[in-house]
Structures are given as C-alpha cells and as structure tokens.
Chains A and B, each alone.
Chain A
Amino acid sequence: MLKRLIHFLGSFLTFIGASMLLPLFIALVYGEEPAAWAFLISMVICFIPGMIIRFSFKNGLADEKVRKRDSFIIVTVAWLSASLMGSLPYLISGYIDNFFQAFFESCSGFTTTGASVFTNIEHLPHAILIWRCFSQWLGGMGMIVLFTALLPGLGIKGLSISSAETPGPTETRLTARYRETARNLYLAYVLLTMILFVLLFAGDMNAFDALAHAFATMATGGFSTHNEGLAFFDSNYIYFVVGLFAFIAGTNFALFFDILAGRIKKALEDEELRLYLILIAVSSLLIAISLCISGTRPALDDALFKALFQVINTISTTGFLTSDFAWPPFCVLLLTFLMMIGGCSSSTAGGIKVSRILVAFKIIKLELKSRTHEFLVDDIKYNGVKVKSSVLYHIYTYSSLFFMTIVVATLLLSLFGGGSAQTNFLTIISCISSLGPGLDNLGLLCDYHLSSNICLLICNFTMIAGRLEITTMLVLFSRHFWSFDKTFE
C-alpha cells in the first residue's frame, strides 16, 4: 500500500503543479512578473518531487491491492497535499507571510468554503485572484474524480476512492466504468462553467471577472475578485445569473444526464430535487414576508428577489457576499439552517445534503407511525427503492459525527482563543458546511485574519472534514484504522 500511496502522491503533485498553468498564463497576460515567478517556482516545487516520486515507485505496483481502508488515507492525503501545495503561490509571492494563513486560504479554496484571511483583495494580482477561484473549481467536483478521469492508468479503483470524496450518501454511477462516469461528470461541469462565463461576460463583467466568478459559482465556493463580492457589480442580471447557476451547481449532476437522455420526467420526479426546490421556495417566501413585515425590504418584489438569491446562495453553500445583511433574526436563523442542510448529493455543494435530510425525515415519519400502529411493518423508500439498512446506519453515524465534530471543533476554537462561544459555533458550522463567511446575529463576519494559527488549523480540519463527508477523515482517528488486524481483511 505504501508504494501505491507514494506513487499516487507523486502523480497528484504533478497534477497540482500542472493546474497552476492557468494562473501563470494570467500573470503573463497581465504582466505581473512577481506573481508569474511565484507560480513558476510553485510549479517547479510540485513537479520535481512529483516526477521523482512517480518514477521511483513505478515498479511493483501491480502486486499491491488497494483496499477500502486505503482509499480513506489516499483521499485525505490528496486533499492535504493539494492544500499545502496550493498555499505556495501565496507565500512565495509574499501576499501572505504566515504559513498557517496561506494554508487556510488554500484549504478554503480547495474545499470550496470561501473563507478568506485577506481583508483587501483588490490589491492582489490577477494571477492570485484567479488561483483562489480556480482552486475552488478544482475542488468543487472533487479532485480525485478529475484525477481519475484524466489519468486512468494509475491502477486505483476510481469508484471506491471517489466514493470517499463525492458529496452525499450515494455513489453516482452513470456508466459501467467509473472512469467514464468521472469524465461525463467533468464534461457537464466544464460545459456549465463555460455557459456561465459567457452569460456573465454578456452582462457587466469583464472577461477576467466573468471567468473568476464562473469558477467560484460552479464550485459553490464564493470567492470573488472584489472586496464587496457580487455587490460590487450592483446588477440584478448578475445576481440572477449567479443565483441560477448556484442553484444548478447545488443539484445532483447525474440528473443532467437524465435530462440529456430525454428522461426529463424521471429527473423531475427525483425526490431530492423536489425537496431542494420546496426548501428554496418555502424559505424564500418566508424570508421575503419577514423582510416586508420588518420593513427591511418593504417592496414585496424586491424582498422576494433578494430572499431568493440569498436562499440559493446559502443552501448551495456558495456564500457570495452581498451588500447588506442586517436582516431580522428569523431570516438569519433560517439561513443558518439552510446552510447546514446544504445542496444535493453528487453536487458541488457542502452541508449535510438534502438526500440525508429527506431520508432522516422519512425515518422519523415511520417511527411516529410505528409508535401508534405497533405491528406496522414498512420500509423506507427513496425514489421508489427500499433504502438499505447500511445506508440508514450511515445516516445515523453521519448525523452523530456531524454534531460531534461541531461540538469538538467549537470547544477547541474556544479553548485556543477564538471569539465568543456563539461566534465560534457559527464559524464552525460555516466551515463544516463549506459556506465560508460566518453568520452572526448581526451580520456577516469575515475576520479570519485575526484568528490565531491554531484556530486557523482547527478551521482547516473542519473544512476538510466537511468537504470529505466527515467519515473519510475521522475514520483515520479510529483505533481500528491503525490496528492492522488481518482477521477482517
């Protein structure tokens, strides 16, 4: 396993190095020499060890079998190394001089969280700005998925590994070979990003802003090129386009293939999609009513538009900054819950996932029924198919781990000099749900730059745990993972 892991790591470093070609190109186009050097050096740092490792551990790989347990360590190591290497341009260019802050920024990018240590991003070079957004795009659909799609000859079972990375309790399998599924998923992802780029460019955005925002929106990341976020453009057209694509990015990507194959009815009958739509519609309406009644947005059409955008922005865990957020407590709390719920499975969104919420409610409903009808025997069905008991156990475990991670991370953040208990709690929820900006009872908080190094590390851990569906990362802390008991192999 060790050989396979090291060989994989070598290939992955090369891949991360190659992905820096885009910011390097941008730096050259905009004549940003220091930034170009920073990316060039970072690429070399990724390439040289990557290539050496790849070729040194080439022999004897066929003898090694990748087991289920290995997939967890491969995925976690991949995400940690991506965040580590992704922080190099920030450090080398000198725009961040603290390693922990650079690692946080990079981690926030790859996990599509969108939290930032920068207080003023408008003085940053274009190359750095595009790297922030591009790293989100890379992490959005899953780096391992992309890696599997591009480099099939690594001898790693794509499905077993990507299941440890893909959001949601179910595995997306569109074709018999997972490599083709991964390619199809990325094809849809690239296509949608291109359409979004064109639509944004057709609006008030220049090509650079359109590209950066297309990356950030499709990945549901939320990084922007301006301090005010989307509020900078002050355009309802941009709000509409970004909202629409954030909504699309929050849905299950496998549904696009149903639609493309003409199975529109089947796609629309998807229970998860329906609940996702219901949640958005009901929440938007409630928030709009609350905004109207409280006088924050007296006009109903204006309130409805802002509410709809903010609801989609939050439930898809995109987290773009908007102009004002001095909303009534009801709206803030409802948005916090939506942030925890997150988008659909096999989407780029974070959070618990709508499918899990749906199954959890079905479990609760069945339990209520069985309390009154003692001899009732009924199954829980999802899209007409009986849910296996292993999936139910997975949901129980996931929900327990989700709350446990929040509790432990909040406690650690409080212990190591974070803010008040409530701010820490909301920050951790924001990180674990991949939203980014922390919601407080007053408004949006973006003061991660004030946090201590250890607090940033705790946030990094929470972000990666949230992005990798918690179990993938936490299983590494299990005693059984490190006890090499051959009985169960």
Chain B
Amino acid sequence: MSENRKFIFNMQAIALLVYGISMIPSFLMSFHYGEIRIFCSLFIISIGSILFGIIAHHLLSNELSNVTLRICYVTTITVWLIVIFLSSLPYYASGEGYSFIDCLYTATASWTTCGTTAIPIDSLPIGLLIWRSTCNWMGGIGIVLLTLTFLPSWQFIGQRLASTEIRGPRFLMSNMTFRKAYRRIIILYLTFTLLQYTALRLCGMTNLAAILTALSNTSTSGILHLNNGVIAAYPTSIKAVISLFAFLSSINISVFVLLILGKFRSLKRNTEFTFYISYVVIITVLFTSIMYFEEHPSLTLGFIGTQLMQIVSFTSTAGFIVMDCTGLSAPCITIIIVIMFIGSCAISTGGGIKISRICMALSCVKTSMFRTLHPHAIRDIRYNGEPTASEDIARINVYILLFMVLFFAGSLALTIEGTPVIDALAYSQAMLTNTGTPITGVTDPSLLPTFGAFSKLVLSFLMLCGRLEIYPVLLIFSRGFFITKEN
C-alpha cells in the first residue's frame, strides 16, 4: 500500500474514532430517557466505530512530512462521505420506519449545517435529536479539523488539509500560524457553545432544549427542534440570545483572536469585518423601513430589534424565523434572497458565497470600471490594506461563477421530478448556501413540496457542495483528478 493511500485510510480511521466518541452523549441520553432501541443502535455503531478506528489507526499510522493537495481533497471528501453515511444509520436502525434516503438526507443536512430534515422532527426520539445536534455541531467546525487533534504530524500537513474543509478563501488565514489558529478555533467554538447554553438556561429554556439549541445554533444550523424553527412566539430574551450567537458564529474567527489580543487597529482595518457590520446595519435599516411603511406599526425598539434578529438569522445562514413572515412583501423577499446568497464571513460556521468574496468581487468591479476609463493606469485591488495577488482575485471570481452555475444546475435537476420552478430555485439556493430554509418555506411553510429520491440526492449533493466550498465535491467528477504520476 502506498504511503498516500495509507495516509487517507489512517485519516478515515481517525475520523471514525472521533465519530464514535461523539456518539457517546447521544446513547447516554437515550439510555437516560429509556429509549432502549435507539440506545442499542447508537451504542453498537459507536463502539464499533471506536474499535475499528483504534485498530485501523494503529495498523495504518504513518509519518508523512508533506502531502499533495490532491490527497487532501480525497481525504476530505471520503471522510465526509463516510461520516454522513454512518450518521444516517442510527435513524435507519431506530425502528421508526424512516426510509434510507430520508435518513441519508437528514444526516447530510446535519453535517453540512443546513439543519433541514426529511424526517418529521417532532417524531424523533431524544437520543436521535441529540445525535442530530451533535452532527450539526461537528459539521460546523469540520470533522477533518477535529481529526487533526489525533494526528501526530498534523502541524506539517494540517493547514493544507484544513484548507480543503474550512469555509472561505485560504489566504485569510495568513495572519496567524496554523497551530495557533487551530487551537483558538477549537477553544472559541467550545466557549461559544457553553456560553450559549448558559445564557439560554438563564433565560428559562429547558435543559434539553438549551443543549440542542446551543449545539445547533453555534454551527448556524438552524433550530428546527424549536417549533420547526419558527420562534416568533418565544420570549424576547431567548430570541435575542439565539440571534446574538448566530451572529457571533457568522463572524470570521480571526476577528475574535484580534479582539482577545487587543489589536483594535487591525480590527478596524479588517475589510471583511467592517463590511459585514455596515452591511448588516444597512440591510436592517432597509428591511425595517420597508416593513414600517407597509405595516405602519409603532417604531419601537422591539420592532427594530425583531427586524435585526430576522436579518441576522439569514446573514448567518442559520435560517430561523423570528417574526411572522407569512405574506412577506416582494422587496423583503428579494432582500432575504440576496442576503442568503451573500452569506456570512469566511472562516466562520456560516454558509453562502461569503462576505470576503463579495468584498473582493466588488473591488474587482470598481477597479475594472476605473481601468475601462483609464486603460493605461495601474491600480491594484486591496484587501485589509494590502494589495491582492491576481491569482486570488481570479479564484474568488471563479468561485462565485461556479456557485451560480451550481445553483442553476441544481434547480434544473430538481425540476426533473416536476418540482415547480420557484420551489426548485428556492430549495437549490437554501441548500447551496446551507441556510436550509427556502424562501418559499419562510413565506408559507404549509406549501412545502414533496421530493422524490432523486431530488433528495440532488439536494444532498448541493448541501455538501455548499459546506465544502464546492471544489472537493466537484473534483471527484473531474477527469484530471484521477491522472497522477503513477498512471
């Protein structure tokens, strides 16, 4: 067996180990609540994965100083496919009569932080609810990133491997070493989860609901377990806590590092962060103004706050509903569609195209306009005050193009089984941006279409593309991907 192949299998083995360990709280909870069948299925899969992971890891463990990007892509996509497949098994083995495709769809949605489900959430046993939220939480940070903890030589290849899984353009990580970044990401992610759990408990939420919400919302997966994601009737304090943490999760993790280190000047110069804050404020003002002129309510702080929370829900791609959205007007719907596409910051748990890419694309347009008028002038595109390499600009533009191509192709594939055009466009967008809540579901949740097996596979594919930033998924369909030195 070649060293590269050994490395891939080793990574898969470690991923299985992590997967098995992460299942422990779920089977303990199912045991606590007396769900014996669920407990058995979760226990067997968990212990089996742990044992298999340990044995395979010991047999395949190797020390590589470097791996190619191609191997990293193979590792990432295979690890993700394996954990998604295995995560669907507890639902299927639960004895509740769920079809396998529904289980697979739900597992994909959990890992990709879409948060949507093909299984009625109300009918899910508690053990599986915990498992679903655990998958959300791990999907938010990334299974490959978690497996690095168990890899002895991760400091050499970790950055390259993580870059195939982390959301957002790679060059943004250049302001800190990978080892430090890795530790800080893990610590911050855990801190946010714990803080959110504590805050929700203080606001009066039950223990189970607080655990589920903290796990799901930190990963911006949405909160389908709370009244199918419609929390309009919940107390304002709970809505505020959920929105606040969804917002924090949608910010680039390096912003918090700069905050901790007290580098406020760097923070002020951070293009993405300043753009994101102004963008959320402008969109909220616009959205609030439209709502105000349409409905003429009293302009209270509560009214403005509700609009802000609703906007944050979609900018972070969490996709929960804070207000009564039935019969939402056309301008509001247009705004929500646009912000879903734009998404959140890079290196956050949010989805979408990403703010950093939008910033760069806008700068590119601005510079291009200038060059059109002054063809002989020299002007570079700046990001965080630094000139950007033309390669990065090209990559960002290509990504946006690819994103739009996938969105159109996905919606076209969904119409094959007869899904209406508008629903197809809405679902394709919701899955690719990892929001999980289609715009048609926001305005009228009672009119959701029923999808066939093919459409569910298409939706799962789109979710995975959205979560892994398209390339790892598309590369396995590329002919050039399989051409190596050996063949």
Contact = CB atoms under 8 A, between A and B. Distances in A.
B259 interface: no
A334 B421 CA distance: 10
B334 A396 contact: no
Interface string B55-86: 00000000000001110010000000000000
B368 interface: yes
Nearest to A393: B368
Contact of A419 (B330, B366, B471): B330
A489 B373 CA distance: 9
B482 to A, nearest CB: 9
Interface residues of B, number: 58
Interface stretch (B92-100, B237-245, B298-306, B408-416): B408-416
Interface stretch (A182-190, A302-310, A406-414): A406-414
Given A401-B365, A421-B334, A364 B376 contact: no
A415 interface: yes
Contacts of A59: none
Contact of A372 (B69, B337, B395): B69
A410 B341 CA distance: 15
B432 to A, nearest CB: 15
A337 B408 contact: yes
Nearest to B472: A371
A64 interface: no
Contacts of B390: 389
B391 to A, nearest CB: 9
B412 A333 contact: yes
Nearest to A336: B421
A330 interface: yes
Interface stretch (B44-52, B246-254, B396-404): B396-404
A382 B390 CA distance: 21
B373 A333 contact: no
Contacts of A419: 330
A414 B418 contact: no
B424 interface: yes
B330 A418 contact: yes
B480 A372 contact: yes
Contacts of A389: 390
B370 A374 contact: no
A113 B371 CA distance: 30
Given A364-B405, A371-B471, A419-B330, A396 B394 contact: yes
Interface in A304-343: 328-330, 332-334, 336-337
A241 interface: no
Contacts of B405: 364
Nearest to A416: B331
Contact of B331 (A367, A403, A411): A411
A372 B375 contact: no
B455 to A, nearest CB: 12
B451 interface: no
A480 B370 contact: yes
A471 B338 CA distance: 22
Interface in A352-379: 360, 363-364, 367-369, 371-374
A333 B424 contact: yes
Given A400-B365, A414-B331, A421-B330, A372 B398 contact: no
Contacts of B404: 399, 403
Nearest to B329: A414
Nearest to A407: B338
Contacts of A480: 369-370, 373-374
A410 B338 CA distance: 11
B478 A372 contact: yes
A411 B338 contact: yes
**Range class of the A interface residue count:** 35 or more
Contacts of B368: 393-394, 396-397
A422 interface: yes
A369 to B, nearest CB: 5
Contacts of B400: 399-400
B401 A368 contact: no
B372 A68 contact: yes
Contacts of A330: 412, 415-416, 418
A347 interface: no
B119 interface: no
A251 interface: no
B187 interface: no
B284 to A, nearest CB: 15
A329, A367, A390, A415 interface centre (most CB from chain B within 10 Å): A329
B157 interface: no
Contacts of A337: 408, 412
A415 B331 contact: yes
A411 B411 CA distance: 22
B331 A332 contact: no
B378 to A, nearest CB: 10
B109 to A, nearest CB: 23
Given A372-B480, A400-B364, A410 B420 contact: no
B150 interface: no
A383 interface: no
B290 interface: yes
Given A368-B475, A407-B338, A400 B395 contact: no
B36 interface: no
A464 to B, nearest CB: 18
Interface in B418-446: 418-422, 424-425, 439
A392 interface: yes
Contacts of B420: 329, 441
A420 interface: yes
B397 A414 contact: no
8 smallest beta-carbon distances between A and B, as pairs: A488-B374, A414-B330, A396-B397, A397-B368, A421-B333, A414-B331, A330-B415, A441-B421
28 contacts: A68-B372, A68-B375, A294-B418, A328-B415, A329-B415, A329-B418, A329-B419, A329-B420, A329-B424, A330-B416, A333-B412, A363-B398, A363-B401, A367-B394, A367-B398, A368-B474, A369-B480, A396-B397, A397-B364, A399-B404, A400-B397, A407-B338, A410-B334, A414-B334, A415-B331, A480-B369, A480-B373, A487-B377
Given A367-B402, A392-B394, A471-B369, 7 more contacts: A329-B424, A333-B421, A337-B408, A397-B369, A420-B333, A471-B372, A475-B369
Interface of B: 68-70, 73, 290, 329-331, 333-335, 337-338, 361-362, 364-366, 368-377, 390, 393-395, 397-398, 400-402, 404-405, 408, 411-412, 415-416, 418-422, 424-425, 439, 471, 474-475, 478, 480-481
